[in-house]
Amino acid sequence: METVLKLDHVTKRMGGRTIIDDVSFEVYAGEVFGFLGPNGAGKTTTIKMILGLLSIDEGKITICGNDNVRQFEEAMKNVGGIVENPETYSYLTGMQNLRQYKRMRQGVTEERLKEVVQLVGLENRINEKVKRYSLGMRQRLGLAQVIMHRPKLLVMDEPTNGLDPAGIRHLRDIFRHLAHEEGVAVMVSSHLLSEMELMCDRVGILANGRLLDVKLVKELIEQAEGNKRIIRFTVNNSETAVNVLEEKGIAPLKVEGNTFDISVESDEELAKVSASLVTAGIWLLGITHQGQNLEDVFIQIAGGGGQIE
Amino acid sequence: MSKFFNLIVNELVKILAKSSTKIMLAIIVLLAFFWNLAAFINDREMRKIDEEVIDYDYIFEVYKYSEEYESMYQFLKEIGVTVTSDWRYDAMQDITDELSGTLRDYPSQREAALEWYEKLKKPIGDNDPKGYLARRIEYINTLPGMDSDTKKAYAAILKFAMENDIPPTRHDSRFSNLLSLIDKKAELSLLESMPADIRDTKRITTLKNEIAISEYAIEKNITTYLTEVSDEFSPFYFQGFWFAFSESVNQITVISLLILIIAGSIVASEYSVGTIKFLIINPVKRWKILAAKYLSVLITGISILIIYYILNFLMATAFFGLGDIGAPLLKASDGVVTAGSPFLYVAFMYLLNSVSLLAMATFAFMISSLVRNAALAIGLGVFLMMTGQGVTFLLGSIFGMDWARYILFANTDINAILSQNTPFLGHTLGFALTVIAVYMIVFLLTAYDAFVRTDIK
Ligand SMILES: Nc1ncnc2c1ncn2[C@@H]1O[C@H](COP(=O)(O)OP(=O)(O)OP(=O)(O)O)[C@@H](O)[C@H]1O
Ligand SMILES: [Mg+2]
């Protein structure tokens, strides 16, 4: 696997605090790499260092073999990225905005511009002033800006911010297409694991400026499978059902109207629970699998309690 | 290199697309229009005074003139003089002034004076300027209380006017030039007679040059021209097209404000909307982006000045026509006169007046990249531009001018320095330009350091 991005013991201090502490990882060509962490973990800071917006206090970052400080221009030729919000010149049209970047990049043709406009679905509005764009349209324009020069590395900070579900899916498809079909290394940061799960091949988990773990999404799922599953029951009388289960020493996680969730470790245990409910004369109206609880795994690894350190 | 050119194109596209730039251009057009309109109205008023219609009814009813003047106006009315620009009006005024002076001061010569009065009046009545001039030359020699040198000089110009068909009226620029020559030559000989240690050599040089220019204009029969009065270094022409066009240079202060706005916001605005991040992550070193921005400010500034120059030319043409367009610019040094193009001269004045603009724009640019706040950068730039010179003089008067001349603002008024009109001793153009260059380098290095080194948070 070809390494496109490499962080080598990177440390960043700001305002007397160590924000990023000795972080190392690699992102390969052809994969979507999720950069996961709770608020304030240091995702944006790391991405800004990769893109040359922030200086690096210790360690180094190489992009396609070029040091992004000492060989800035060479390194940046292969990069496209959006940090936080995609900012555009609101007094220019969409196309004029794209041309600004075309002039700074080498080898972007007019045809290529048309192609990316089409790819992000902005053909009909591209000659309008950006100040009349919605947030989602600006996101799409931002994406067109950063992929026009066919970068080998695409770095996106919280790219799904402000997008509707259809927009998120569209973006996901674009990222997967770029990585899997065109061999781009795509790095995406997020604090929502559910999103990462659908989009990424591999995730790195960051908390308090330290990289806790880098795992294939598959591995994460297995880890979750190995743990407990959440099953949601719908019954005719949840009060009686809860009493029956509590007598057997099983505490429901959540009761809501006629539904309640319990956590089970195996199929056998699930069969036992259902049998005892039926025996107690309760009608089982529905049993649904609530999915692998990756959030649990995440919180377990990141140790988050919602407290920002 | 072509990439750097592209960066400049990018900046210019942004500057042009901003609505503030469009407003600025509109302001410039209006400024040029209203300046020329004001110059036109002023010009018309001045010409009106110049070519005043004589209101005889008013003169006879309201004013109680002495006998001589009463009959002078009667005579003027009889011979059909209606406006003051008629040569006969000036001539009658002259001879009547002289008559009443003689009657007052030398009553014994009454008979002779009255006799001469009638002799001189005759050609005026016949509307014969040559005849009048011929008699006047004779008359000059009889005048009491005038020294022989002055008499000679006066007779010479009258002769010249007679030979060259120049009407003897102050409304004719050649004749008024001839008259001024007498005064200037008199002043010159007075100054030169002073003892060497108190002799005003600067004024002597100026007078010599002015005399040379007047003589040149008279000799070449040039009625409309511009001169650069060397101790003021400003055009010496108060009317019409050239006044409006050359004095438009004074509005460069207003234009400076517009350029300050561009210089102060070009870096800061990228920060305030966050586009700086997109700019920086391109494969272009930061200093190149900064340099492109600075050059774009300069290009815009120069373009605005050129546009203003052209606009003023067009507006002045619209108001005054192209009648005076061929007027030369006469310059003299060591008594040698050269004729140049006043268009170049006005362009040069634009350039000189842009020096402080350049320094202030660079200053605002530095602040813009230092504090990343457009309002602060523009505000500080404008504030310094308004108060800088005053504060410099104040500091100079407290701590000594010798020290104060190293302050930027002591050096930005190139006009004053060229004409040696500054309180800072030993001020030369070279000194001023060196000081300005040093300041600009410091400004630019500071801007560079701030822009290239800081983290983009
Ligand atoms: N300019 C700064 N000076 C000092 N500390 C900063 C600065 N910018 C960010 N930080 C701190 O660095 C830490 C990481 O911030 P960062 O923005 O990288 O987090 P993040 O993972 O992107 O969070 P989020 O999910 O909220 O976007 C935070 O604790 C933040 O307070
Ligand atoms: Mg962030």
pLDDT score for A296 = 66
User: Is the confidence at residue B398, as pLDDT, over 90?
Assistant: no
Q: Is residue A123 part of a domain?
A: yes
A287 sits in which H/E element: strand A284-292
With 0-12 / 13-18 / 19 or more C-beta atoms within 10 angstroms meaning exposed / middle / buried, residue A142 is: buried
Euclidean distance between the first and final Cα of chain A, in Å?
Answer: 36
Residues A79 and A148 occupy one common structural domain: yes
Q: Is residue A307 part of a domain?
A: no
Residues A85 and A207 occupy one common structural domain: yes
Residue B416 neighbours by CB distance under 10 Å = 18
Euclidean distance between the first and final Cα of chain B, in Å?
Answer: 30
Residues A174 and A45 occupy one common structural domain: yes
Q: What residue type is assigned to position A58 of the chain?
A: E
- Any ligand 1 atom below 6 A from CB of B457: yes
Give me the CATH number covering residue A31. 3.40.50.300
Q: Count the residues in chain B.
A: 457
Better pLDDT: A173 or B63: A173
Q: Is residue A301 part of a domain?
A: no
Our mutation pick for probing the ligand 1 site, out of A10, A23, A44, counting the most ligand atoms within 8 A of Cβ, is: A44
Protein residue whose Cα sits closest to atom 6 of ligand 1: A14
Coil, strand or helix: which one is B202?
helix
pLDDT score for B238 = 56
Residues A177 and A274 occupy one common structural domain: no
Q: Is residue A296 part of a domain?
A: no
Residues A208 and A231 occupy one common structural domain: no
User: Out of B9, B275, B281, whose CB is closest to A53?
Assistant: B281
**What are the residue ranges spanned by the domains of chain B?**
2-47+244-453, 53-170
pLDDT score for B236 = 40
A9 and A57 Cβ atoms separated by less than 8 Å: no
Residues A259 and A183 occupy one common structural domain: no
Query: Within 13 A of B423's CA, how many CA atoms are on the CB side?
Result: 14
Domain count within chain A: 2
Mean pLDDT, residues A77-104: 92
Note whether B277 contacts A53, CB cutoff 8 Å.
Answer: yes
Residues A123 and A211 occupy one common structural domain: yes
Residues A29 and A152 occupy one common structural domain: yes
Decide which of A196, A222, A248 is a domain's last residue: A222
Q: Between A and B, how many residue pairs show a Cβ–Cβ distance under 8 A?
A: 83
Per-residue DSSP letter, B328: P
Q: Is residue A297 part of a domain?
A: no
Decide which of A172, A197, A222 is a domain's last residue: A222
Distance from CA of B42 to the nearest CA of A (A): 42
CA gyration radius for chain A? Answer: 24
**pLDDT, tens digit, 9 for 90 and up, residues A2-27:** 899 999 999 999 988 999 999 999 99
Lowest-pLDDT range, A64-73, B29-38, B416-425?
B416-425
Give me the CATH number covering residue A278. 3.30.70.270
Residues A246 and A167 occupy one common structural domain: no
Here the ipTM equals 0.78
pLDDT score for A13 = 93
Residues A204 and A256 occupy one common structural domain: no
Note whether A100 contacts B14, CB cutoff 8 Å.
Answer: yes
Better pLDDT: A39 or B290: B290
Q: Is residue A94 part of a domain?
A: yes
B136 and B123 Cβ atoms separated by less than 8 Å: no
Alpha-carbon distance of A113 to A95, in angstroms, equals 9
Q: Is residue A97 part of a domain?
A: yes
Our mutation pick for probing the ligand 1 site, out of A11, A12, A14, A208, counting the most ligand atoms within 8 A of Cβ, is: A14
- The residues, ordered by sequence, that sit 6+ positions from B151 with a Cβ below 8 Å of its Cβ are B140, B141, B143
DSSP string of A78-133, one letter each residue:
TEEEE-SS----TTSBHHHHHHHHHHHSSS--HHHHHHHHHHHT-GGGTTSBGGG-
- As residues whose CB is below 5 A from the ion ligand 2, the structure lists A 44
As a whole number, the mean pLDDT across chain A is 87
Distance from CA of A54 to the nearest CA of B (A): 5
